[in-house]
Amino acid sequence: MSAPNIETIVSLSKRRGFVFPASGIYGGLGSAWDYGPLGVELANNIKKSWWNWLVYERDDIEGLDSSIIQNRLVWKYSGHEQTFHDPLVDCRKCKKRFRLDKLEDVQCPLHNEFHPGESPECSLTEAREFNLMFRTTLGAVSSDDDPAALAYLRPETAQGIFTNFGNVLNTSRRKIPFGIAQIGKAFRNEITPGNFIFRTLEFEQMELEYFCKPDEASQVFESLLEAYTEWMQKIGISKENLLLYEVEPEKLAHYSKRTVDVMYRFFPERSAESQWDELMGIANRTDFDLKSHSKKPEDTEGKRINPDSTEDLSYFDPQTNERFYPYVIEPSIGVNRTLLAVMMDAYTEKTNEKGEMRVILRLAPEMAPIKVAVLPLAKNKPEIVELAKRIKRELQPSMRTVYDDTGGIGKLYARQDEIGTPFCVTVDHQSLEDSAVTVRDRDTWEQERVGVDALQTYLSERLNK
């Protein structure tokens, strides 16, 4: 089972402290969200897992952390100033703006049962292009429309990787094929944000740019796509909820030769064909970016394509004595959407012996914000409380552990199930006699007695299984 809709996750998130509306005390912003105490742990676990898998476990990837604000020329030569647009339409009746290609994602504000444009009373304007990059100005003296001071918040992290290609290549002494991985914030002035954290104004991307010889690119594309689908399953996204979508040639981004969107079933409540939307995209960016940021290439009339760059980002192959611009395969995945997919997939309902419905978030242990909760059976008994707190302190350095005595044991178990804590450790009167505690499994609700001395090893083994 997974969540029946995103709304279920919205209310669980708010109730338990995964995600809150940003600036909620002022009515929110609709498209900006804050991660609460549990959400930040889950997001960190996703990022850690991705980084470990790519940068530590593989031997062909380096890490990077580049700036959000770059020289404006980066966005000129990347093509974003010219082409990073979405088609925008206005409704003359309700005065709202929509993204033409995403009308089915929003409801008409005046006619609730329709999408914009579907009701005979809607009156949409012709589409016009709207650049998604957030603008800002640099320097204290600049006026807001001074072109010399204009800068952008990056709409993708990738460009910082391309501009650093030469730096990383030279300092790490790499030879292609190799990749550069980066996690960081990106910003897009989305026309129709919404669907909770699915589409937000700012979001973190986990991007990999993998550099290879042009004739290796198709094979690299296939193997990275396969590796990513395996990683997604490892963090708890089931295969049945994933679908690969080959982007049609006429819809490809300006830099892409081939793009496959990995779609997740974010909308299970919708009709079969509209249940899916993009979780990640993998693109063959060819040599587009390295070439367009380089000072050397010339057009057919012998004029430099990029008169502003001071570097040539080509690669010299010592084996063949050839110099060329590597091809780039880019898998790009958002932290928000991954977190939403992980939560939706983990969501389960189970009925207890009293016939009450309980929510269990069956997160992979690696993803769980809290690994172990230590619960005293009697909080008015100082020896029990003391032992429980000691166990918490001892487990904490190796696994995220909390102590909780704010309710009856049934309620405490239910709370931990709902936030995905794999194990609860209960300290009771008998623990004072036999130095053993009860370990309860989130998924089976089975309980086992374990000696306090053996507890850490026992839990580590089960968490790492």
Residues at the interface with ligand ATP (CB under 6 A): 188, 190, 199-200, 203, 205, 278-281, 332-334, 336-337
Structure tokens at 299: 């057009």
Phi-psi domain of 420 (left: phi exceeds 0; alpha: psi -120 through 50; beta: other): left
Query: What is the rounded CA–CA span in Å between residue 358 and residue 445?
Result: 12
Task: Please report how close the Cβ of residue 229 comes to ligand ATP at its closest, in angstroms.
Answer: 14
Tokens 């338990």 map to which residue? 16
The answer to whether 425 and 441 are in contact (CB under 8 A) is no
Task: Please report how close the Cβ of residue 77 comes to ligand ATP at its closest, in angstroms.
Answer: 18
The smaller minimum CB distance to ligand ATP, of residues 185 and 304, is found at: 185
CA angle 356, 361, 362 (to 5 degrees): 115
Tokens 């958002």 map to which residue? 334
Task: Please report how close the Cβ of residue 80 comes to ligand ATP at its closest, in angstroms.
Answer: 11
Query: What is the rounded CA–CA span in Å between residue 330 and residue 54?
Result: 13
Task: Specify which residues 278 forms β-bridges with.
Answer: 263
CB closest to ligand ATP, residue no = 334
Query: What is the rounded CA–CA span in Å between residue 173 and residue 187?
Result: 32
Task: Specify which residues 180 forms β-bridges with.
Answer: 62, 209
The smaller minimum CB distance to ligand ATP, of residues 89 and 360, is found at: 89
The smaller minimum CB distance to ligand ATP, of residues 266 and 315, is found at: 266
The smaller minimum CB distance to ligand ATP, of residues 2 and 332, is found at: 332
Give me the half-sphere count of Cα atoms (radius 13 Å) on the Cβ side of residue 249: 0
The smaller minimum CB distance to ligand ATP, of residues 252 and 378, is found at: 252
Task: Please report how close the Cβ of residue 191 comes to ligand ATP at its closest, in angstroms.
Answer: 10
Task: Please report how close the Cβ of residue 253 comes to ligand ATP at its closest, in angstroms.
Answer: 7
Task: Please report how close the Cβ of residue 200 comes to ligand ATP at its closest, in angstroms.
Answer: 4
Query: What is the rounded CA–CA span in Å between residue 459 and residue 465?
Result: 10
The smaller minimum CB distance to ligand ATP, of residues 70 and 456, is found at: 70
